[in-house]
Amino acid sequence: MERLQKVLAAHGVASRRKAEELILAGRVQVDGKIVKELGVRVSANSQIEVDGKGLSDEPLTYLLLHKPPGYVTTVHDPQGRPTVLELVRSPFRLYPVGRLDYDSEGLLLLTNDGELANMLTHPRFGIEKTYRATVQGIPSAASIERLARGVRLEDGLTQPADVRLVAERGEHAVLELTIHEGRKRQVRRMCQAVGHKVIKLVRIRFGPLVLGALPPGATRSLFSQEKKSLEKLREVGRKKRQSKGHTTDGGGGRNDYGQKRR
C-alpha cells in the first residue's frame, strides 16, 4: 500500500506537493469515489483517475532544457504567456522541475518522474543551484562577502552561499552564485539587497546537472553519468525519509552528493 499522492507523483501526474493540491481540490477518484483527504493509501489494483482520466504507464523521461527568457516554467499560464513546454517535443506528459523566472534563462529539467522532482525541489535536501548573474555596477569585496554570509530579505536571512566575481565589463559585473535554497527570485533579491540590480540571470547548474554549451531553446537527453547521479540522489532521499528524527544540514557538513557544503 502506498500513499495516494506518492502514486500520483510516480505516474508523472505532478510533483507530490501538486498531487496533494489535486486531492484536496477533489479532482482525484479511487475506485469510483472522490478522495479529498491526504494520507489515503492505495494498492496496485486500485483504479485511480485524475479529472476523469486513468493513470498512464508512461516510461520515466528526462530532458534538460536551456530555457530562454520570455517563457514561464509552468504547464499552463492563466495570463496566456508561452510556457516552457512549448519548446519541447515529447510523446509523454512532462512538467518542469523547480522555477526560473519569466525573464531568467538557463538549465531546467523536464520529467514525469514525480518522486525525483520532489527530491530535487524539497528544502530538506538542499540541492545546490549555480547562477551566473550580470549586475549593474561593480560589487565591492564587502558586498560579495555579505552575499556569501547571507543577506536579510523580507522573508528572512539567506543561508550562506558561494559567491565569486567572474568578470568586469565596463559598468557591469558578472557574479557566480551557488545557493541551496529555492526562494522566489532569490538571486535577484540578494543582489538588489547589496545595491546591484540583476540585468541578466542564467542558471548553469542544478544538482549534478550542468548546462554546458546547450543553446537557448534547445533540449537534450541526460548523459549516463547524470542519470547515475540522479539515481544516487533518489536512494539518498529514500533513506532520509525512512530515517527517524532526520534534520537538514543547515550549511555545514555535506550535501546529497557527498560534497562539502559551501
Q: What is the pLDDT along the chain (262 residues), one digit of tens a residue?
A: 888 988 887 776 777 788 899 999 999 999 999 999 998 999 878 889 998 888 766 788 999 999 999 999 988 888 999 999 999 988 888 889 988 999 999 999 999 887 788 888 888 888 999 999 999 999 999 999 999 999 999 999 999 999 999 999 999 999 999 999 989 999 999 999 999 999 999 999 999 999 999 999 999 999 999 999 998 888 887 777 667 544 433 334 444 333 444 4
With cell 505532478, the residue in question is 14
Catalytic: which of 31, 57, 77, 101? 101
- Please give the C-alpha separations between residue 27 and each of 18, 50, 104, 141, in angstroms, as whole numbers: 12, 6, 32, 53
169-198 residue pLDDT tens: 999 999 999 999 989 999 999 999 999 999
Is 101 annotated as catalytic? Answer: yes
Contact predicate 141/221, CB 8 Å: no
Q: If you write DSSP's letter for every residue of 105-164 in order, what string do you get?
A: EEEEEEES-HHHHHHHH-GGG---EEEEEEEES---HHHHHHHHH--EETTEEPPP-EEE
First to last CA, the chain: 40
